[in-house]
Structure 1
Amino acid sequence: MMLTQLAGVLAAATEHEEKAPLFMPWWMFGVSIFVILLVLMFVTASFSNMGNRHSAVEESPDPHRQHTNKHDHGEGEKIPHF
């Protein structure tokens, strides 16, 4: 009960405080964020076709790779495990 009264007193006391001044109009914050995200979208879209520049090249099985993909379907060199 006492905390509820204290919250009410604090809420009433903060109603009369002056708001901090902003360095630009409030709507410019939304416009700025929109423009920044729009620029980032265009940068992302400009790199979207990077994988289409060259034709795909088959990967040769490398027995010396540390983590082999084990999907070469027997084309790679079989290494005996001891």
Structure 2
Amino acid sequence: AVGVVDSSGKLVGSVAVADLRDIALDNLGVLLQPVSKLLADGVLPNARLDVVTPSTTFAQLVEKLSSQRLHRVYVVNADGGAQSIITLT
């Protein structure tokens, strides 16, 4: 998965390979549109963004990943700006 940011760098969405699998073969033209439009139009799911901050401890990170059965979390600053992604794979 990759994070999607707006013009100010704020994390606003995420796109994964699984999201692309759901696009019908007869609708591949949508891939030529901006990601922001695909998210706004519901072509790509507007998935919940699981985030942590740079001050999150490793123990807190492991707890979040484990208890919520997450594959990845995004690291964001206080303004919601994307800084990094942490993934189990």
Structure number, greater radius of gyration: 1
TM-score of the superposition, structure 2-length normalised? 0.16
Please state which structure has a larger fraction of its residues in helix.
Answer: 1
Higher strand share: 2
Greater relative contact order (Cα < 8 A, sep 6+):
2
